[in-house]
């Protein structure tokens, strides 16, 4: 998997140990139900065009690691306003791509050192959760 900054084509590789934890919980149809005075059910519904959450979490504590120098790049990217990214899955059975933006409302980035102590090197690993929102494909 890789995250590509669309404006510069810079990329950060993400290991395969991330699980898209909310992939099947998003409701693409928004629906309101109400009853008319005569008791008839009134249903209004529409399909959402964007905003699907993509939360990438470690499948377990032995996965979803990122080196500190890559984590710092992700942190810097996460605070750029108006930036869009391409999230590319790179597995033989899954090569989907999504245009995404960091999801700040739900906490765009969480990280903790794998060893549980402060990093002593830019190559030390962090366990990371990344939260994005899928956008309409705007290439």
Structural domain includes residue 99: yes
Please list, in sequence order, all residues whose beta carbon lies within 8 angstroms of the beta carbon of residue 122, skipping any fewer than 6 positions away: 67, 68, 69, 72
Structural domain includes residue 139: no
pLDDT in tens, 66-113: 999 999 999 999 999 999 999 999 988 999 999 999 999 999 999 999
Rounded CA separation 41/34 (Å): 6
pTM of the model: 0.88
Structural domain includes residue 110: yes
Structural domain includes residue 89: yes
pLDDT in tens, 110-129: 999 999 888 899 999 999 99
Range of the domain at 24: 2-134
Structural domain includes residue 118: yes
Number of domains in the chain: 1
Structural domain includes residue 92: yes
């Amino acid at each position: 998997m890789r995250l590509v900054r669309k404006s510069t084509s810079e990329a950060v590789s993400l290991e395969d140990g991330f699980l898209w934890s909310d992939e099947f919980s998003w409701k693409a149809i928004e629906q309101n139900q109400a009853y008319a005075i005569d008791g008839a059910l009134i249903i209004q519904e529409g399909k959402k065009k964007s905003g699907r959450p993509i939360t990438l979490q470690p499948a377990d504590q032995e996965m979803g690691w990122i080196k500190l120098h890559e984590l710092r790049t992700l942190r810097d990217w996460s605070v750029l306003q108006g930036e869009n990214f391409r999230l590319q899955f790179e597995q033989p059975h899954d090569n989907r791509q999504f245009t995404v933006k960091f999801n700040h409302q739900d906490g765009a980035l969480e990280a903790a050192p794998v060893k549980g102590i402060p990093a002593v090197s830019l190559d030390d690993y962090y366990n990371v959760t990344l939260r994005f929102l899928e956008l309409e494909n705007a290439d």
